[in-house]
Amino acid sequence: MAKYQGISTKTLQNGSTAIMVRFKYQSTTYPVKNFTKLFGCTTETQANNKLNEVKVLISNGVDPFSNTPYTLNEIWSKRLETKEKSGEWKNITRDNYTYYYEAHIKKVIGHKKLNKITYEDLEKILMNIADRQGGTKNTLKKLLFPIFEEAIKKGHLQDNIIKKLNTHKIGNDKNIGLRTNEEALSIIKKLYDAIPNYYVHCKAQEEEFKMFLYMVVLTAHRVGEIMQLKKEDIDIEEKKIISPPTITKTKEYYHFPIPQECLEYIENIESGLLFPTIKRGSLYAIFQRLLKLTDIKFYKGKTLSMHDMRRLMLSVMIIDCKIDSRLADACLSHKQTGVIRHYLSFSYKNINKSYKKYWKKVREVEE
């Protein structure tokens, strides 16, 4: 006797098994449904539980057997267009999310309809970015969650599988000493020395990439800020950069010196962005390629990011250059905290001098 009325296990021609369900509800007799194919049920108990959900949906006027009408790629394309037209996603946000989708999501599940995407699919994506920081992993959830929620509202899905994804801690691996046993100065020196050997497939971009990496390693300024710098933000005579409040995290003007390595490149730019072809979404890969040109050894599963340059520079300035910690912090364009912020400020001369000390240490050739 069947455990659940109308529910049975059937062996298919290919040898696999499927949970088949036949039921009558609200005076309607429904034809046999393959609950394994429709909902991923692998046992009769799962099918019975799903049948109860199906009946609730029918009661609410929702067709539980309607398929999601579009693939994820088609849904993403429409969503991207909508966000652009509404202005909700600015250029940098659009570029970042587009790169993430293309690099991590599209190949694995982009061709699937939402009701065919499984938790195993999501795990595969996360495995591919296992070495990334928490924020990168959380972006998967951030991008897909609203797409699945919208499908539920339209009656195309019953459950949002994205809810099963964990939210990862951000910045929980700040201590570089837990990732490698190399000292901060040694790491920076090796990165600096590797930049001349950095190459890209498109030779026309090679100088731009190298100059960008020099800016990251030698100024340690926020990458998002560096990417938005324009020729108009440069004072060539004083050899300094004046970051406008529209691109700085503090929403204030900030001045810092131009590394000598980048000066000629910047002088030759007529106008516009200093680094026009570099995309935010490609930054991780760019930096990882630089790391591969060094012999820096990491503990299993660990690496560095461009943002870690800020931690490294701060350490070198304080420990190796003997610069006051508050002044070193100011070089990173951090605001002073506590009562002291009302009384203490550093001039550009102080910051410029600190950078010169730092650069001298980095450029020194070890005996």
What are the pLDDT digits (tens) for 20-58? 999 999 888 988 999 988 888 899 999 999 999 889 888
Q: Would you say domain 72-164 falls under CATH 1.10.150.130?
A: yes
Segment 228-234 shows an average pLDDT of 95
Q: Which residue has the higher pLDDT, 301 or 271?
A: 271
- Structure token pair of residue 33: 């449904």
- Band the pLDDT of 258: cuts 50, 70, 90: very high
What are the pLDDT digits (tens) for 266-283? 999 999 999 999 987 788
Q: Which residue has the higher pLDDT, 95 or 194?
A: 194
Segment 225-234 shows an average pLDDT of 94
Inter-residue long-range contacts of 149-158, CB under 8 Å, 24+ positions, other chains counted: 151/68, 151/75, 151/114, 155/57, 155/62, 155/63, 155/66, 156/66, 156/67, 156/68, 156/69, 156/114, 156/115, 157/68, 157/114, 157/115, 158/53, 158/57, 158/64
Taking the C-alpha atoms of residue 41 and residue 359, their distance in angstroms, rounded to an integer, is: 62
Q: Which residue has the higher pLDDT, 141 or 152?
A: 141
- Band the pLDDT of 103: cuts 50, 70, 90: confident
Taking the C-alpha atoms of residue 223 and residue 195, their distance in angstroms, rounded to an integer, is: 17
- Structure token pair of residue 149: 């929620």
pLDDT at residue number 367: 44
Contact by Cβ (8 Å): 304, 287 = yes
User: Is the confidence at residue 172, as pLDDT, over 60?
Assistant: no
Domain 176-363: CATH class, spelled out: mainly alpha
What DSSP line would sit under 115-163, residue for residue?
Answer: GG--HHHHHHHHHHTTTS-HHHHHHHHHHHHHHHHHHHHTTS-S--GGG
Q: How do the domains of the chain map onto residue ranges?
A: 7-59, 72-164, 176-363
